[in-house]
Each structure stands twice: as structure tokens, then as C-alpha cells.
Amino acid sequence: MVREQLAQRGIADRAVLAAFSAIPRELFVPRTLASRAYEDCALPIACGQTISQPFVVAYMFEALALTGRERVLEVGTGSGYSAAILSHVARTVFSVERFARLAASAERRLHRLGIVNVHVSRADGTLGLASEAPFDAIVVAAGAREVPQPLVDQLIAGGRLVMPVGGDGEFQSLMRITRSESGGVSEEDLGQCRFVPLVAGTARR
């Protein structure tokens, strides 16, 4: 997967590639789909959500330009897979998920793998995570019409936010927002992508 689907398709960040080699994706997909864990596609997980496509996760993390010293906020823990990858390329990861059930199972998987620098909580990521802000980088694994302002506000100067942004269709543009020293922002379109929707509020289960 790392060689054929990531490196050969242009992912060059060595730390990102090493992280993908270190984390067994089959532990993050439903048992019945384990044989498909290394296909380059999104797969269904509980609560009607998906574990993202490996290439897209790698592309997003490469776009964050991490050095390994950052505090990172991830919105949309899902299975916990991308949080596990992030644990290898950042210093501390705060990952929020609106479904309590997904947050709990992700936490169990990360614990089982001995990952101690990821903190999962059930929370509405459209609000960011004020108690731990600011962040050097923020990654959002769900798409919305607009970037929620609290996320921009919780970035340090020079911080990067990567998130799918789009209208009503099923596709979004992967946007990188960089906060300047003066507090302004610059935006870059990194290409088309397809994510589950970012939904405000926490889920009942």
C-alpha cells in the first residue's frame, strides 16, 4: 500500500510514509472487511461513517507540513486510523468525534497499539477544542460549505488547516488555509475530494 498507492502516486514526506508503514489499517476496519484493508479506498465503519482513503489521508497530512513537534487538532476521529498515523508525525494529537461510540472504539484501538500522544474526546468539532487551543495544525476529515470560524481562530500564527470545503454536491475542494502572522488567512485549493459531511452538534449515541 505504502509503495504502490502512496509513494508512487506522489507522497514524498518520509515521516508520513513511515507512519503508514507502522500502523496496521486492518485493525481499524470492521472484521468482515479486513481482507480489503489495504485497498486504496474508503470503507464503511460504524454509525454510517467511513474510514478515509489512505492516499487522501496521506495527501492531507503531507499538506500540513509537520515536523514532528506540533500540537494538532483532528476533527472526525472515526475509526481512529488517521489519528494513529498522526501520532507518528506530530507531538500531540487532540482528536474529536461527534459519535460517542466511535470515539470509544477509536480510543480502545489506540490504547491497544500503545499510542499515548493522542487524546480522543466526544465533541462537536465545528467549535474546535477551545480548552486545548491554539494548535499548530488542524485537519478536518469531513466536508462543509464553509470553514468554521472557531477552527481558524484556534490556529497559531503560521498554522495550517486542511479541510474539504464544498457546496451541496458529494464532492468538495480540499482547502489549505494558512494563518499569517498578522492574523489574516491565505487559501489554496489542493484538488477535488469526497468526504462524509461535517455535522454540527454531538450525536445522540
Report the interface residues with ligand SAH, using CB under 6 A: 49-52, 75-76, 78-79, 81-82, 96-99, 102, 124-126, 141-142, 196, 198-200
Q: What is the nearest approach in angstroms of ligand SAH to the Cβ of residue 132?
A: 14
Length of the chain: 205
**What are phi and psi for residue 196, nearest 5 degrees?**
-70, 155
Q: Which residues on adjacent β-strands are paired with residue 25? A: none
Specify the residue, 37 or 141, whose C-beta has the smaller distance to ligand SAH.
141
Alpha helices in the chain (DSSP H): 14-22, 54-63, 81-89, 100-112, 149-153
Residues involved in catalysis = 52
CA distance 27 to 167: 33
How far is residue 54's CA from residue 51's CA, in Å, rounded to a whole number? Answer: 9
Rounded Cα distance between 147 and 194, Å, is: 16
Minimum distance from CB of 136 to ligand SAH (Å)?
19
Residue 145: CB minimum distance to ligand SAH, A: 13
What single letter denotes the amino acid at residue 138? I
Identify which of residues 56 and 177 has a Cβ nearer to ligand SAH in the complex: 56
Of 49 and 92, which CB lies nearer to ligand SAH in the complex structure?
49
Which cell numbers in the block locate residue 19? 507512519
What is the spatial distance between Cα 152 and Cα 93, in angstroms, rounded to a whole number? 17
Strand partners, 135: 155
Minimum Å distance from CB 197 to ligand SAH? 7
